[in-house]
């Protein structure tokens, strides 16, 4: 292994970790192993703290491949609570409104999900890393400023209803989609399309391109895995 020449590593991002924290942890262990003060490490596609799953991390010269990985199709398993919304469209913020759900049936959910397949327009969440006049949207939203984001065109290849528990008003879906898709925003839009409200309560990224969750390493195993690798040191 040569981390300066470039390696591509696959991790299962832990719950409540930011993508940035994961990168920092990996950089710390590699720097220590190589006995260097700094090494380039970056990730290919942010996951929210409340999401888990596939995260591709590139080191050294392989950081040039980040954009290539970002354009790969992604697959998610999302758990959505119907009948209530939050300002962040997930559990980061408290419920701010509740909506009727008595009219919702499994058939209605299945028919509604079909309408999201193909090329769609999606307004990103205000609590997101999108930029408005050079500022991050989430910084403005957390300061109480009004955030107006423009719709983005993206592609949903597949949506499958995995579970539909109408006693709890909770559904679980599998989504295959393009770069730039916010599953939180999809949850919001599904709620609206059902003439109700909805927010995301769980999210796992199960695939990026050909990389599946089972190909990924747990962060806690990285240090011991690193000890077992033959490391090439490049003198610059």
Domains contained in the chain, CATH given: 8-71+211-227 (3.30.2350.10), 74-207 (3.30.2350.10)
Distances in Å between the Cα of 214 and the Cα atoms of 45, 63, 176, 200, 217 are 18, 23, 17, 24, 8
Is 48 annotated in the active site? yes
Residue-averaged pLDDT of the chain: 93
Instruction: Kindly give the pairing relationship between strand 198-208 and strand 51-59.
Output: parallel
What confidence tens digit (pLDDT) does each residue in 105-151 have?
999 999 999 999 999 999 988 877 777 777 777 777 777 777 788 89
Point out the catalytic residue in the list 12, 48, 90, 189: 48
d(CA 79, CA 204): 9
* CB-count burial class (<10 Å; 0-12, 13-18, 19+) for 181: buried
- Quick check: 236 pLDDT over 60? no
DSSP state of 30: H
Which is higher by pLDDT, 34 or 146? 34
d(CA 41, CA 63): 7
pLDDT band at 181 (very low <50, low <70, confident <90, very high): very high
In this prediction the pTM is 0.92
User: What is the distance between the terminal CA atoms of the chain, rounded to a whole angstrom?
Assistant: 16
Q: What is the mean pLDDT of residues 46-72?
A: 95
What's the residue count for the chain? Answer: 236
């Amino acid at each position: 292994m040569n981390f300066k020449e470039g390696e591509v590593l696959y991790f299962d991002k832990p719950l409540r970790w930011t993508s940035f924290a994961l990168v920092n942890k990996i950089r710390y262990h590699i720097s220590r192993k190589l006995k260097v003060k700094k090494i380039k490490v970056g990730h290919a596609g942010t996951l929210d703290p409340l999401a888990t799953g596939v995260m591709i991390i590139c080191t050294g010269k392989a950081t040039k491949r980040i954009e290539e990985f970002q354009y790969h199709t992604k697959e998610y398993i999302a758990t959505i609570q119907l009948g209530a919304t939050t300002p962040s469209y997930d559990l980061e913020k408290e419920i701010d409104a509740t909506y009727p759900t008595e009219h919702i049936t499994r058939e209605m959910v299945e028919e509604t999900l079909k309408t999201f397949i193909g090329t769609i327009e999606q307004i990103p969440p205000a609590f997101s890393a999108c930029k408005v006049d050079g500022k991050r949207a989430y910084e403005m939203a957390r300061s109480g400023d009004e955030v107006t984001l423009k719709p983005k065109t993206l592609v949903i290849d597949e949506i499958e209803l995995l579970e539909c528990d109408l006693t709890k008003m909770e559904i679980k879906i599998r989504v295959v989609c393009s770069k730039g898709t916010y599953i939180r925003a999809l949850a919001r839009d599904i709620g609206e399309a059902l003439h109700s409200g909805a927010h995301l309560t769980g999210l796992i990224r199960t695939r990026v391109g050909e990389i599946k969750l089972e190909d990924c390493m747990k962060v806690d195993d990285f240090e011991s895995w690193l000890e077992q690798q033959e490391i090439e040191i490049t003198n610059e």
